């Protein structure tokens, strides 16, 4: 079926990066649309931001033009990598059926086992 429209490919994500409760300044935060586990060692994406002096970041969501509609729910998956001083780590991986989630707000504490959690 021919039906041109835009389709969400990446959710908007914003939040704060902390280390031991203190804001991390200048960390790169990368949103990686990926079906499998996010490989942060090679992660690069057009969806990225750098934390400010308060540790805050914001990544805009994105949509793409598609010409055909695929019937049924599509699989959606994305991850977040944080890079501070050349050390990229996966901080969150989310997956589900349907289109990318609504805008996400996260708090990332680099000293925790489960680094990023919903705010």
Structure tokens at 61: 């969501």
Structure tokens at 62: 């994105």
Q: How confident is the model at residue 56 (pLDDT cuts 50, 70, 90)?
A: very high
CA distance 74 to 52: 35
Domains of the chain, by residue range, sit at 2-118
Please state the rounded mean pLDDT for residues 21-45: 77
**Percent over 70 (pLDDT), the chain:** 64
Of 11, 24, 10, the C-alpha closest to 82 is 24
Q: Write down the pTM of the prediction.
A: 0.75
Buried residues in 27-52 as b, exposed as e (16+ CB within 10 A): bbbbbbbeeeebebeebebebbbebe
pLDDT score of 21: 93
CA distance 94 to 13: 12
Class of domain 2-118 (CATH, top level): mainly beta
- What lies within 8 Å, CB to CB, of 118 at 6+ separation is 104, 105, 106, 107
């Amino acid at each position: 079926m021919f039906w041109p429209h835009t389709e969400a490919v990446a959710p908007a994500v914003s939040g704060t990066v902390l280390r031991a409760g203190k804001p991390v300044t200048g960390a790169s935060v990368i949103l990686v649309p990926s079906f499998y586990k996010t490989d942060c060692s090679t992660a690069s994406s057009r969806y990225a931001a750098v934390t400010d002096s308060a540790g805050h970041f914001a990544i805009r969501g994105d949509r793409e033009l598609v010409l055909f509609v695929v019937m049924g729910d599509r699989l959606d998956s994305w991850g977040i990598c944080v890079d501070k001083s050349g050390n990229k780590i996966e901080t969150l991986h989310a997956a589900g059926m349907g289109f990318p989630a609504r805008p996400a707000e996260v708090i990332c504490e680099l000293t925790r086992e489960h680094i990023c959690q919903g705010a």
